[in-house]
């Protein structure tokens, strides 16, 4: 696994060089990241919405250059999509760890 959490250069490039737009979107990501929805879906067994929210998180991570988060979410999403996920709570545990690390790093960047 790549140790780098965030590739800001790639993220800014995806925002056509708009650093302000990129940092504003990072700020928004801190509160609009689907974490609560994903946890609710795991708790209630709502697999259809879990796929949807996980796919959206994967897209956000990729678009913002959140490298490790994109990697772990992509792995979990692939198992959701192909039906091989057996224990969502356990399989999402690495996502929650990396999401927390990523959010902490974003807070440090924005400070």
* pLDDT for residue 84 is more than 80: no
Q: What is the pLDDT of residue 33?
A: 86
Q: For 36-74, what is each residue's pLDDT tens digit?
A: 999 999 999 999 999 999 999 999 999 999 999 999 999
* pLDDT for residue 3 is more than 60: no
Cite the DSSP H helix spans in the chain.
Answer: 8-14, 19-29, 35-44, 47-64, 67-82, 88-110
Residues 61 and 69: their CA atoms lie apart, in Å, by: 6
Measuring CA to CA, which residue among 45, 49, 97 is closest to residue 73? 97
Give CA separation, 74 vs 15, 23, 58, 79, 94, in Å: 21, 23, 6, 9, 12
Q: Mean pLDDT of all residues in the chain?
A: 92
């Amino acid at each position: 696994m790549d140790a780098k959490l965030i590739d800001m250069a790639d993220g800014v490039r995806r925002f056509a060089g708009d650093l302000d737009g990129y940092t504003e979107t990072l700020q928004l990501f801190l509160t609009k990241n689907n974490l609560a929805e994903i946890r609710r879906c795991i708790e209630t067994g709502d697999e259809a919405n879990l796929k949807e929210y996980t796919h959206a998180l994967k897209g956000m991570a990729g678009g913002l250059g959140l490298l490790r988060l994109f990697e772990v979410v992509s792995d979990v999403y692939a198992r959701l999509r192909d039906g091989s996920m057996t224990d969502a709570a356990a399989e999402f545990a690495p996502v929650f760890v990396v999401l927390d690390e990523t959010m902490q790093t974003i807070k440090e960047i924005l400070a």
